[in-house]
């Protein structure tokens, strides 16, 4: 038979099926498609799905959700972490079409339907051979009855209708159409979507000035971090640090004796990517640290920076893996006129690349063997796109619970493509978005269908490389408001240690004119801090992280709606859980210097109340409770509390 | 080398390249894409295009239109009518990358660039073998200079830069990526986009009551139709009409002697799809009619209704092409409880379908041989989707100037898919869209990117099957306002004869409860009209069609912007030519009974003037001229003129 059936507009689907769709394990994947055929015949549509590693598909009937738009819908379960694949099949159900035609005739009281009944008999006979003994008997009985000259139309119809399910099962799918390509879905574990990250340097967790902490000593910080309510502990690289051209304090070209060097200049005589810096301890100490963190409910995120110091073992073992100068020497990293003589970039296009790529794969598996399940990847946009697609697939096919965070601060197309290629999460522009207009526009972009199916943002308030001037100028209130924004606008967010102390000593950026960076950057020296210094916001952080845990409305990205409030310095938005049992209304003063006030408009449907009905707005930060309705006065003093995080409640807590 | 380069978000592109994009011959096809690579190397991007029947591609360099978004752009010419194909190729330009690096070093005053220069020399040597004698000499000279120990950086840079174009030509495209699939573009002749259609029954063009006109007699109508300013003359089927179960007046089941029958019940002893109804004349008469129309500047649109009367020759010659009942008789069309005994549907799935499909192809080629270049296809949605894709491709591969109009009044997905499969134009829901909200929503949908790349609407004010109640109730003013809407909202529009006389005698629809249709439907009887009866709107039609011809703003669909006017009974919108030298502002009173007034807001950029600047609004219907600015009072009395069609002008005409 010729193709009568069209299958179109399948969702979810990224770039026509070129890239997998991202979802979370434990949920059901909802699939919709436009399916129709010419003429009036009845069609059947099924969703065919499988685990990516299974050969056979399972089938779920799709239901017609909107007849006027030929829109069909079904969902399939994703019980396990890992990759799934689905497609859609549709065919003409000749028996159902005939039955529908017969029904109309009987309802219209047509007397002579003999010819139509004989057509039905022919359809029954057609499937005889495919039926078991019992079914065959049913078919034969029905055929005899329909063929008899004196069968009353109504009773003929009832006889025929009784066979619908049987016939649906037995009929061949003569004109079946199966959509190609099948669409892949990555079901990640929930941590891929939501989590609070804390970034630190192991060596800076000690208490003796000038002396770096070991992994064992750094374990003492873990309770403090746990108490602030974080989920993920991200460690700057713990590998041996090179000595040749080691950078000194504040990124100076010459290191003084005792300068520890940048953890991102990886490799020394003590080893490379699969070794631990001796001053931090041994691999056993690392294992012990991972276990201590795990016991405190903290998961380790491990830094993957694929570049070597001149002292990295590979330089001798695999010179072919680096770029060479005409004189045969190895090229260090440069971005003229800047030189990074302490770093050799890897040549991913080397003729020996099979060995290089597989060695990198081995190294990740090595750390997975030591309890690492999250990799934060440094500058992925300077390595080949195809390399990442290959590596992430290789790793996740064996360890589907492993997550990758892309640290690609670059142009939007590259960031989006890295996410599509497989990165579980991505760094974002949040750090540079401060005004109401900037935040509204950016979050609107991030929550568009294509973005939310592939790109999971992780909002960092700061990093060792990024100290926003907003924090320097705004001080403590600014640190609190940026924390609230990061922690409530994105289900994943992070901070770099020192944020809780509102650290903001700055110097002009060595690379970006007009920009600033941390003075005494921790990348080049050991820091010793008083983690309980006055003015710290640790309790505030703990409060916000507790609110995040208790409120599922904050565990998803796209369930976001900005609310009207006529004041450019105030940002207000609503968040809700899928079942709407948990609804939050958040208002933030974006100005760290002055109090601001305004009237926020909360549409009744957003609060889940009847138009005009009042509700209780329970501030989860201060525990105050306000009677609210559609229009509510808000005043936020940055020196008191810069934000409301209000939960919609019906009865006083 | 590994894949470093990504090519994404190509426009235009329909469903990932599954369907061709529709464009117009004589214009340039503008192509955009997001193209980028990892790292800092320079990439080159070219647009590769060809005529579909050519093997070889031509190449046009794409330019970086937006560096921040990696957006590249180029256009290619479509000089001929027919199908084109394009794709995009991108690769890394190693020499340009090296040159850019060198420039930075020289600008930064780096003294020791010897090693970098030797890298350049290596690049020059690499292409030696690909160069002609002269170029080879240039390369050798430059290599010698760059390799010499004492070359000053600035002069080295100049030497190297001078070879950019040569190197671009000579370098191999090592890591070239070519986007797949290539994207097809159909360049139709301009009539596919814009034209005014007039539909009529040949037999009703006479002046003797009860006597049908012949083709020769009908030629007398041609000047009248030309004077109204139409471009296309669409004829109801001219084939022999069946006698068996012929329908009588008002679709009655029994025809009286002398009843001519429905032209859509095709075939008699006098012939079938390739024959002319004897009472209309001969094939020579048809040729003569086509020529007479052509001489008057009118092109014929020919009706293709693929269904047979019981008397069609195929019934005897090809019984296998029809559906059979169990008793062996042929099935007539039914939609229980309704029966259409005067029509036998064709079985496109017949085992003998190759013969059927090719015969239909032959028939279209036959009429093309008789001067037909436009086919209006009756109910395409009741035939297989694949049949149309095959047929239209077959015909257009030989006759690219042939156009197809789909008469598919059905659900949106089928209508959109038929357009994607190849129909040049489509009937629409315009006939049922009357309110400001309905018209705004529908035109907004039609002008979305995917729609405007594939679906070309043809707005019919009425058809032999559709008499909108709005016209019955609203009378003459309603006929005028619906004409203005159809003729100015869509570049293609049509009317069925009688509209110019404001005919609206109606009867309840025999098939659709609550709906109405024409009383004494012309489908079942011969009509004789006084084409100059009092109250006709022929002059108004002629005026509107003249305005359409003279104003390119009305020759495109998507150059439409609705204007704010605070009155639900007034619709206002702007249209403009691509070069903005022709700008129209149209205001229509949607209420045929009462005058309405309001203030229309014309943003300065829409009128092409400076903010606050005034302009002249020249009413092309009444020739009145008004001084207009951003806010203008409008009052429209349906009994005077129901609409303004204003041209923005700078000086009084």
| A100 found inside a domain | no
pLDDT tens per residue, range A328-354 = 999 999 888 888 999 999 999 999 999
Report the 10 Å Cβ neighbour count for A368: 17
d(CA A621, CA A68): 48
Chain B residue nearest residue A384, CA to CA: B4
Helix pair angle (B114-126, B133-147), 10° resolution: 160
User: Tell me: the pLDDT tens digits for B382-434?
Assistant: 999 999 999 999 999 999 999 999 999 999 999 999 999 999 999 999 999 99
Instruction: Report pLDDT for B149.
Output: 84
Q: Based on the number of CB atoms within 10 Å of its own CB, is B11 exposed (0-12), middle (13-18) or buried (19 or more)?
A: middle
CB distance A69–B1 less than 8 Å? no
How high is the pLDDT of residue A300? 98
Residues B619-636: pLDDT tens digits?
999 999 999 999 999 999
**Do residue A362 and residue A456 come from a single domain?**
yes
Is pLDDT of B653 > 70?
A: no
Q: Which of A407, A503, A525, A641 is catalytic?
A: A407
Which of A187, A216, A231 is a domain's end point?
A187
Task: Please judge whether B6 and A413 are an interchain contact, meaning their C-beta atoms are less than 8 angstroms apart.
Answer: yes
* pLDDT value at residue A510: 80
Same domain assignment for residues B296 and B440: yes
Q: What's the total number of domains in chain B?
A: 5
Q: Which of B345, B366, B400 is the last residue of a domain?
A: B345
Chain A residue numbers touching B121 (CB-CB < 8 A): 326
DSSP states along B262-300: -TTSB-BTTBSTTS--TTT--HHHHHHHHHHHHHTT-EE
* Residue whose structure tokens are 């099949």: A89
Q: Assess if residue A319 is contained within a domain.
A: yes
Residue B293 vs residues A325, A487, A629, B233, B458: alpha-carbon distances, Å:
77, 73, 70, 8, 21
CATH at residue B181? 2.60.40.10
Instruction: Flag whether pLDDT at A23 surpasses 70.
Output: yes
With CA atoms as reference, report the closest residue to B454 among B409, B424, B475. Answer: B424
Q: Which structural domain, as residue segments, surrounds residue B123?
A: 105-170
CATH of the domain at A601: 2.60.40.1180
Give the torsion sign (CA, B480, B482, B483, B487): positive
Distance CA B354, CA B511 (A): 35
Q: What is the ipTM of this complex?
A: 0.92
Strand partners, A24: A188
B325 CA: distance to closest CA in chain A (Å): 7
Rg (CA), chain B: 31
Q: Mutate which of A39, A174, A336 to disrupt the B interface (most B C-beta within 10 Å)?
A: A336
Cα A417 to Cα B35: distance, rounded to the nearest angstrom: 11
Is pLDDT of B601 > 60? yes
- Compute the Cα dihedral for A145, A147, A153, A159 and give only its sign: positive
Q: Is A161 within the bounds of a domain?
A: yes
Residues B530, B422 share a domain: yes
Q: Tell me the nearest-neighbour CA distance from A142 into chain B, angstroms.
A: 17
Rounded Cα–Cα distance for residues B128 and B141 (Å): 12
| Closest residue by Cα to residue A76 from A101, A103, A58 | A58
**Co-location of B33 and B62 in the same domain:** yes
Pair (A412, A379) in one structural domain: yes
What whole-number distance in Å separates Cα of residue B653 and Cα of residue B649?
A: 8
Q: Which residues, other chains included, contact B91 with Cβ-Cβ below 8 Å and sequence gap of 6+? A: B5, B43, B44, B173, B174, B175, B176, B177
A2 band by pLDDT with thresholds 50, 70 and 90? low
B557 CB burial (10 A radius; 0-12, 13-18, 19+): buried
Q: Check the CA dihedral A196-A202-A205-A209 and report its sign.
A: negative
3 state DSSP class of B389: helix
Chain B residues with beta carbon closer than 8 angstroms to that of A385: 3-6, 37-38
Between CA A173 and CA A161 the distance in angstroms is: 20
Q: Tell me which of B413, B448, B455 to substitute to probe the interface with A (most A C-beta atoms closer than 10 Å).
A: B413
| Of B649 and B652, more confident | B649
Residue A282 has pLDDT above 60, yes or no: yes
| Contact in structure between B556 and B593 (CB atoms under 8 Å) | no
For the record, the structure tokens of A599 come out as 């009237």
- Taking an 8 Å cut-off on Cβ atoms, the answer to whether B385 and A40 are in contact is no
Q: Are residues B486 and B549 in the same domain?
A: yes
Token pair of A20 as six digits: 């997998």
From the CB of residue B635, how many other CB atoms can be counted at a distance below 10 Å? Answer: 13
Closest by CA to B396, choosing from B556, B555, B192, B234, is B192
In the predicted model, what is the mean pLDDT of residues B102-127?
94
Q: B174 and B93 in contact (C-beta within 8 Å)?
A: no
Alpha-carbon distance of A157 to A165, in angstroms, equals 15
Give A85's pLDDT tier (boundaries 50, 70, 90).
very high
In a domain, A98, yes or no: no
B99 within a domain of the structure (yes/no): no
pLDDT band for A651, please (50, 70, 90 cuts): confident
**Which class for B184: exposed (0-12), middle (13-18), buried (19 or more C-beta within 10 A)?**
middle
Pairing mode, strands A625-628 and A615-619: antiparallel
Q: Report the length, in residues, of chain B.
A: 653
Q: How confident is the model over A99-126, as pLDDT tens digits?
A: 999 999 999 999 889 999 999 999 999 9
- Quick: pLDDT tens for B167-178: 999 999 999 999
Q: Work out how many CB contacts closer than 8 A connect A with B.
A: 133
Residue B571 has pLDDT above 80, yes or no: yes
Strand pairing class (B232-235; B43-51): unpaired
Q: Which residues of B382-397 are buried (b: 16+ CB within 10 A; e: fewer)?
A: bbbbbbbbbbbebbbe
Greatest CA separation for chain A: 108
Which residues in chain B touch residue A349, judged by CB atoms under 8 angstroms apart?
Answer: 1-2
Asked, for residue B98, whether it belongs to a domain, the answer is no
pLDDT at B210 over 90: no
- Angle of helix B538-550 relative to helix B469-489, nearest 10 degrees? 20
Classify residue A479: in a domain, yes or no. Answer: yes
Judge: B385–A353 Cβ closer than 8 Å, yes or no: no
Question: What residues of chain B lie within 8 A of the CB of A356, using their CB?
Answer: none
Q: Give chain A positions within 8 Å (CB) of B387.
A: 2
What does the alpha-carbon distance between residue A636 and residue A571 come to, in Å, rounded to a whole number? 11
pLDDT tens digits, residue range B456-508?
999 999 999 999 999 999 999 999 999 999 999 999 999 999 999 999 999 99
What was the pLDDT predicted at B2? 60
pLDDT of residue B104 exceeding 60: yes
Task: State the number of CA atoms in the 13 A half-sphere of A333 facing the CB.
Answer: 17
Q: What is the pLDDT of residue B450?
A: 85
pLDDT at B555 over 80: yes
User: Whole-angstrom Cα distance, residue B586 to residue B564?
Assistant: 12
Closest alpha carbon to A450 in A421, A422, A416: A416
Reading the block at residue A153, the tokens are: 């139309």
- Give CA–CA dist A465/A475, Å, rounded: 18
CB contact under 8 A, A36 and B8: no
What residues of B are annotated to the active site? 378, 407
Nearest CA among B391, B362, B398, B345 for reference residue B274: B362
Mind telling me how many Å the CA of B171 is from chain A's nearest CA?
A: 18
Residue A552 has what pLDDT?
Answer: 98
Q: Give the span between the Cα atoms of A138 and B531, in whole angstroms.
A: 67
pLDDT of B141 above 70: yes
A572 and A620 housed in the same domain: yes
Q: What is the mean pLDDT of residues A30-36?
A: 98
For B348, the 3-state DSSP assignment is coil
Look at residues B522, B554, B586 and tell me which one is the last residue of a structural domain: B554
Q: Average of pLDDT values for B70-74? A: 98
Neighbouring CB atoms inside 10 A of B15's CB total 13
Confidence of residue B510 (pLDDT cuts 50, 70, 90): confident
Q: Please answer yes or no on whether B3 and A101 come within 8 Å at the CB atom.
A: no
- A399 and A440 co-located in one domain: yes
Least confident of A10-24, A178-192, A509-523, B433-447: A509-523
* Residue keyed to tokens 């308030």: A461
Tokens of A112: 């002579």
**DSSP state for residue A310 in the 8-state scheme:** T
State chain B's mean pLDDT as an integer.
96
Token readout for A556 is: 């998803």
Q: What is the pLDDT of residue A487?
A: 98
Is the distance from CB of B300 to CB of B231 less than 8 angstroms?
no
- Is A510 in the same domain as A543? yes
Residue A415 shares a structural domain with residue A502: yes
CA A358 vs CA A140, A306, A317, A343, A586: distances in Å: 64, 13, 15, 22, 47
* Partners of residue B110 in chain A, C-beta under 8 Å: 336-337
Mean pLDDT of chain A: 96
Q: Is B444 helix (H, G, I), strand (E, B) or coil?
A: helix
Residue B385 to residue A327, Cβ atoms within 8 A: no
Whether A439 is in a domain gets the answer yes
Report how far Cα A47 is from the mean position of its chain's Cα atoms: 25
- Which H or E run contains A283? helix A283-295
Are A390 and A470 in a shared domain? yes
pLDDT above 70: percentage of residues in chain B = 99
Percentage of the residues of chain A whose pLDDT score is greater than 90: 95
- Across the range A396-419, mean pLDDT stands at 97
pLDDT band at A512 (very low <50, low <70, confident <90, very high): confident
Q: Taking residues A371-379, report their average pLDDT.
A: 98
DSSP A552: G
Residue B34 distance to chain A (closest CA, Å):
7
> B80: which DSSP letter?
S
∠B561-B566-B570 over CA atoms, to 5°?
70
Q: Minimal CA–CA distance to A160: which of A109, A105, A111?
A: A105
Of A38, A101, A384, the CB nearest to B383: A38
Residue A334 and residue A401 in one domain: no
Q: Predicted confidence band at B1 (pLDDT cuts at 50, 70, 90)?
A: low
Give the CA count within 13 Å in the CB-facing half-sphere of A317: 13
Cα–Cα distances (Å) from B651 to A460, B499, B614, in that order, read: 59, 37, 11
Pairing state between β B643-649 and B615-619: antiparallel
Average pLDDT of the segment spanning B3-17: 95
């Amino acid at each position: 038979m010729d193709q009568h059936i069209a299958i179109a507009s399948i969702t979810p689907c990224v770039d026509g099926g070129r890239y997998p769709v991202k979802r979370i394990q434990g949920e059901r994947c909802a699939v919709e498609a436009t399916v129709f055929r010419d003429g009036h015949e009845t069609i059947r549509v099924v969703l065919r799905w499988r685990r990516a590693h299974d050969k056979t598909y399972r089938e779920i009937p799709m239901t017609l959700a909107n007849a006027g738009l030929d829109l069909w819908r079904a969902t399939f379960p994703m019980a396990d972490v890992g990759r799934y694949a689905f497609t859609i099949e549709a065919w003409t159900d000749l028996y159902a079409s005939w039955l529908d035609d017969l029904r109309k005739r009987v309802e219209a009281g047509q007397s002579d339907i003999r010819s139509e009944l004989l057509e039905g008999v022919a359809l029954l006979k057609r499937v005889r051979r495919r039926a078991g003994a019992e079914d065959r008997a049913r078919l034969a009985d029905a055929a005899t009855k329909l063929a008899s000259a004196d069968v009353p139309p109504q009773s003929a119809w009832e006889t025929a209708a009784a066979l619908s399910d049987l016939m649906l099962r037995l009929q061949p799918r003569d004109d079946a159409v199966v959509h190609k390509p099948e669409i892949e879905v990555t079901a990640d574990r929930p941590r891929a979507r939501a989590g609070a990250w804390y970034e630190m340097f192991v060596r800076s967790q000690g208490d003796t000035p000038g002396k770096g902490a070991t992994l064992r000593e750094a374990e003492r910080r873990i309770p403090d971090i746990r108490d602030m309510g974080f989920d993920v502990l991200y460690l700057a690289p713990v590998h041996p640090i090179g000595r040749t051209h080691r950078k000194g304090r504040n990124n100076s070209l010459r290191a003084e004796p005792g300068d520890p060097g940048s953890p991102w200049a990886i490799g020394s005589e003590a080893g490379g990517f699969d070794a631990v810096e001796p001053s931090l301890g041994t691999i056993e100490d690392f294992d012990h640290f991972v276990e201590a963190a795990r016991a405190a409910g903290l998961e380790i995120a491990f830094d993957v920076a694929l570049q070597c110091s001149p002292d990295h073992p590979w330089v001798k073992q695999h010179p072919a893996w680096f770029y060479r100068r005409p004189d045969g020497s190895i090229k260090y990293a440069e971005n003229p006129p800047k030189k990074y003589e302490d770093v050799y970039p890897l040549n991913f296009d080397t003729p020996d690349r099979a060995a290089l790529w597989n060695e990198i794969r081995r190294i990740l598996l090595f750390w997975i063997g030591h309890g690492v399940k999250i990799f934060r990847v440094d500058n992925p946009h300077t390595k080949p796109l195809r390399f990442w697609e290959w590596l992430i697939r290789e790793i996740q096919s064996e360890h589907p619970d492993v997550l990758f965070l892309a640290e690609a601060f670059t142009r939007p197309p590259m960031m989006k493509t890295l996410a599509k290629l497989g990165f579980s999460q991505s760094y974002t522009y949040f750090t540079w978005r401060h005004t109401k207009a900037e935040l509204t526009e950016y979050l609107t972009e991030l929550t568009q269908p294509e973005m939310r199916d592939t790109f999971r943002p992780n909002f960092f308030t700061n990093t060792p490389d990024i100290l926003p001037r907003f924090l320097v100028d705004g001080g403590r209130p600014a640190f609190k408001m940026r924390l609230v924004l990061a922690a409530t606008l994105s289900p994943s967010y992070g901070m770099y240690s020192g944020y809780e102390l509102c650290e903001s000593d700055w110097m002009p950026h060595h690379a970006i004119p007009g920009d600033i960076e941390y003075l005494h950057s921790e990348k080049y020296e050991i820091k010793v801090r008083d983690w309980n210094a006055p003015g710290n916001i640790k309790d505030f952080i703990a409060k916000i992280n507790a609110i995040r845990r208790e409120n599922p409305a904050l565990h998803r990205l796209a369930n976001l709606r900005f609310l009207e409030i006529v004041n450019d310095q105030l940002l207000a938005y609503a968040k809700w859980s899928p079942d709407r049992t948990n609804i939050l209304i958040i208002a933030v003063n974006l100005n760290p210097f002055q109090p601001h006030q305004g009237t926020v408009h909360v549409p009744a449907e957003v609060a889940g109340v009847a138009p005009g009905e009042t509700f209780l707005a329970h501030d989860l930060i201060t525990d105050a409770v306000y009677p609210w309705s559609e229009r509510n006065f808000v005043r936020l003093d940055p020196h008191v509390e810069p934000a409301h995080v209000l939960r919609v409640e019906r009865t006083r807590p």
